[in-house]
Structure 1
Amino acid sequence: MTETTDEPAQRTRILADLTPLRASPDYRRLWFGNTVSWIGQGMTALAVSLQVYDITGSAFSVGLIGICSFLPLVVFGLYGGAVADTVDRRKLGLASSTGSFVLSAALVAVSVAEVEQVGLLYAVVALQAVCFALNSPARSSMIARLLPAGQLPAANALNSMTSTTGALVGPMLGGLIVGWWGYRAAYTVDAVTFSASLYAMWRLPAMLPDRGEAAGNGQKEKRASVADGLRFLGTRPNLRMTFFSDLCAMVLAQPRALFPVVAVVWYAGDAKTTGLLVAAPAMGALLGGVFSGWLGRIRRHGLAVVVAVACWGGAVAVFGLTRQLWLGLVLLALAGCADTVSMVFRNTMLQAAVPDAMRGRLQGVFIVVVAGGPRLGDFLAGSVADLASPTVAITGGGIACVIAVTLLALKWRGFTRYDARDPQP
């Protein structure tokens, strides 16, 4: 596959680079299918939460939905990566997408039958998380096979828009549809949207992993294993830093658990204010994707990750000091934009600097970090806020994030020297 890039346009581009969508019909179908299905999943996530609360009247029961999805993501994230490095990734993606479709159809059937069993909803949520944990490493590993390395930052920026759009638009549409037509309609729309993802997977060519470069040492690996993936990661400092840097942001400076508190205490607001605080980072992330054209000009990806994570921490720290709602929303949006930049380059490094036979397992580790980091951050922020105050938890966490990522960059200086023209793991 050859790379064709209009250099003058690249130097002046501000809006998202759509070259990957034009260059690869397979990637275009995959991106469109994922975008539509993410919106459908966002609708279902809200609908399930509303239905659980409608049945039980318990906020605790609603909170258990998160546990039902979190545990399978962690357990099957690593396993799904190993499977993606063993079998045809197209078949794995098609099978897991089919499983998600069947589960969405099951929700439709349950709603038609008017069965109101919370345990059944929990089981569906857990199985959906298993399907996602198997699908995501396979899908992410495919991108580096569909596009040249120079287009990976643009592709990852487009992928960030997919997930952010799903997180913003999906729940909004889900709330409207449930309010107008009920749970059955929301689940039906979700099931229908999966047809786009299934079609995209079906049209892809076979994608067997290149097992000849499994460990990066020229020895052919007999069977992909999680342990071998972790050993590979343990000897690759640049790849480890992509995970460490994200943990600095998501564990030390994750303020979302305190949004309900600060909405009332700092801004004398209510649930609507909390909603604005929750939406602000997502909106910033979406804008970061929309105006991502300049990311293709960056070659020092490691340095860009460190700066972006430090910007996240700095924005969160200042947010903890402000008591003006509009300024707080702007700072959270800036943090979300910085997170998009970090995500784009971290994902690009995982795709470009990892041997094809290891990509699935590294993407599996990525799922565990993405799933676990923010939840650990919620626990840490809540604990510090109870022991001290929300201000200490948020501002102190932001400062700790900046200090931690700076110290890590100083310890592994090669990360900031990482050059996309010669990707070294």
Structure 2
Amino acid sequence: MKPFLHLPPALRHRKFTLLWAGMLISVAGSQMQLWALFWHIRTLSDQPVAVSGVGVARFIPILLLSLFAGLMADRHNRRRLMLTTQSVMMLTALILAGLTAFGMIRLWHIYVLTALQAAAIAFDTPARQALIPNLLPKEDLPSAFSLNSIAMTTGSIVGPALSGVVIAYSGQEFTYLLNGISYLAVIAALIAMGEVPQQAAARLIAKRGIDWPAIRQGIRFILHSPIILSSMLLDFLATFFSSANTLLPFVAQDILRVGPVEYGWLAGAQSVGGIIAGLALSQRSNLHRQGIILMDAVLVFGAATVIFGLSRWFWLTFLALMLIGAADAVSTILRNTIRQLQTPDALRGRMVSINQIFFMGGPQLGEIEAGVVAQAFGVPAAIITGGLGCILAVGLVGWRWPELRRFNGDEPVLAGARSSAD
């Protein structure tokens, strides 16, 4: 009898395993800092719109730098680029810890340091996602991105839970300090993995520099790839309407009437659902009917968000957040798999950087929208209307791009995509 669980195919590749293990630790630290940051803002201000400042601080660097960052990931050594970005993010976390420890922290400090960290993320994400296909064969990519989802969701369970405990028993500054230390795990993994195949090609083209024609080439590729474009727009619209994570401290304190420890568990609830979904998908090397599964997952994401907004009970809120996390994990895995399979290696960095504007811009602009709506109409109204907007977005994208619904997962890369990479 074939066992239900076995070693995921992606973990048979040493270099990917090193990166995955480092990310598993680092994500926990990053998530601990993120949720502690939301709680920190709530202690500094009782106005829901204050959390919108985080969305602005995170989105502007992404918008301004992503296109250049993608070209950097295609033209330069992705591994070395990640070493630089991880070091910058570590430094910003340690500065945040120091300001908090000495009682000097103000809202504007949080916004500025968040913007600096977002600038590093703008370069880190294209380099990291474009590096993964260089570490293992394409048939193991669904397994790799499922494991990435597991790393993200595991860190997102451990990190938020730790944030509540650390805030309650040690102090806010220790959440930032521990996050700074956690970046060492990825830095060590990048050093240990050594050379990767992309590096040889990167050395040959590194001297070309950053140029607008190359950036426009990446944009044209996206515009002429309906599967990739529609998945990006679906991601943007869904997360714009349904992003309300920054409102969770207000839900915890003002609606559910719970403290920082319970808040930490709520913050990790999405990841509990996400890791279950990620573990199930990590067992698959080939997954068919990827388009329709993606769209169904986003529908569930929106419906669960409505339940989250309606709930007045701790455990119903926890379960709704679990369902949101599971649906988001399935959606994320499939979006990443679809895009990587449909993109030539020479364009992957630019594709990810353009996608970054969508998948990071949607949540950040969504957090701004949620804060403004919550300020005007209340926190529950902001969450409920966002979930309904997400459901409508799925219908709109499915009607406009039927190709996405029909996407199976074994289609070849378009000929035009191959030529645009030459």
> Quick check: TM above 0.5?
yes
Deviation at 1:29, TM superposition (A): 0.7
Say whether 1:205 aligns with 2:205. no
Q: Which whole-Å CA distance do the structure 2 matches of 1:28 and 1:233 have between them? A: 30
Q: Which runs of structure 2 are paired with 1:13-412 in the superposition (5 Å)?
A: 13=4, 18-21=8-11, 23-45=12-34, 64-106=53-95, 114=102, 116=104, 118=106, 122-177=111-166, 179-182=168-171, 185-202=174-191, 203-206=193-196, 207-208=198-199, 223=211, 225-256=214-245, 269-272=256-259, 278-293=267-282, 295-317=284-306, 326-381=315-370, 394-395=383-384, 397-412=386-401
Letter matched to residue 19 of structure 1:
P
Give deviations 1:195-249, integer Å, cap 9, x for gaps. Answer: 22112222231424868xx9xxxxx999574332222111110000111221232
Q: Is the 8 A contact 2:42 2:249 kept in 1?
A: no
Q: Is the 8 A contact 2:238 2:393 kept in 1?
A: no
The percent of aligned pairs where both chains have the same amino acid is 29
Q: What secondary structure is seen at the aligned counterpart in 2 of 1:291?
A: helix
With over 3 angstroms needed to count, the CA separation of the structure-2 counterparts of 1:294 and 1:308, relative to structure 1, is farther
Q: Which whole-Å CA distance do the structure 2 matches of 1:61 and 1:388 have between them? A: 15
With over 3 angstroms needed to count, the CA separation of the structure-2 counterparts of 1:280 and 1:106, relative to structure 1, is closer
Q: Which whole-Å CA distance do the structure 2 matches of 1:402 and 1:47 have between them? A: 30
Q: Is the 8 A contact 2:269 2:321 kept in 1?
A: yes
With over 3 angstroms needed to count, the CA separation of the structure-2 counterparts of 1:196 and 1:328, relative to structure 1, is closer
Letter matched to residue 170 of structure 1:
G
Deviation at 1:180, TM superposition (A): 4.6
Matched residue, 2:418: none
Deviation at 1:294, TM superposition (A): 5.5
Q: Is the 8 A contact 2:248 2:267 kept in 1?
A: yes
Letter matched to residue 417 of structure 1:
R
Q: Is the 8 A contact 2:233 2:358 kept in 1?
A: no
Q: Which whole-Å CA distance do the structure 1 matches of 2:39 and 2:311 have between them? A: 33
Q: Which moved more, 1:251-260 or 1:75-84?
A: 251-260
With over 3 angstroms needed to count, the CA separation of the structure-2 counterparts of 1:96 and 1:383, relative to structure 1, is closer
Q: How many residues align?
A: 403
Q: Which whole-Å CA distance do the structure 2 matches of 1:389 and 1:117 have between them? A: 28
Q: Is the 8 A contact 2:52 2:371 kept in 1?
A: no
With over 3 angstroms needed to count, the CA separation of the structure-2 counterparts of 1:356 and 1:402, relative to structure 1, is same
Deviation at 1:69, TM superposition (A): 3.0
With over 3 angstroms needed to count, the CA separation of the structure-2 counterparts of 1:388 and 1:44, relative to structure 1, is closer
Q: Which whole-Å CA distance do the structure 2 matches of 1:263 and 1:183 have between them? A: 18
Q: Which whole-Å CA distance do the structure 1 matches of 2:32 and 2:253 have between them? A: 27
Q: What secondary structure is seen at the aligned counterpart in 2 of 1:292?
A: helix
Give deviations 1:35-88, integer Å, cap 9, x for gaps. Answer: 11122223444566677777x677677764453333223322332112111211
Task: State the TM-score, normalized to the length of structure 2.
Answer: 0.80
Q: Is the 8 A contact 1:210 1:356 kept in 2?
A: no
Q: Which whole-Å CA distance do the structure 2 matches of 1:389 and 1:414 have between them? A: 39
Q: Give RMSD over aligned pairs.
A: 3.8
With over 3 angstroms needed to count, the CA separation of the structure-2 counterparts of 1:91 and 1:19, relative to structure 1, is same
Deviation at 1:163, TM superposition (A): 2.0
Give deviations 1:2-34, integer Å, cap 9, x for gaps. Answer: xxxxxx95xx74x5862212x111111101111
Q: Is the 8 A contact 2:161 2:264 kept in 1?
A: no
Q: Is the 8 A contact 1:317 1:394 kept in 2?
A: yes
Q: Which whole-Å CA distance do the structure 1 matches of 2:308 and 2:97 have between them? A: 42
Q: Is the 8 A contact 1:81 1:138 kept in 2?
A: yes
Matched residue, 2:417: none
Task: State the TM-score, normalized to the length of structure 1.
Answer: 0.79
Q: Is the 8 A contact 1:252 1:398 kept in 2?
A: yes
Q: What secondary structure is seen at the aligned counterpart in 1 of 2:62?
A: helix
Q: Which whole-Å CA distance do the structure 2 matches of 1:72 and 1:117 have between them? A: 22
Answer 1 or 2: which has greater helix percent: 2
Letter matched to residue 257 of structure 2:
D
List gaps (5 residues or longer) in structure 1.
1-7, 215-219
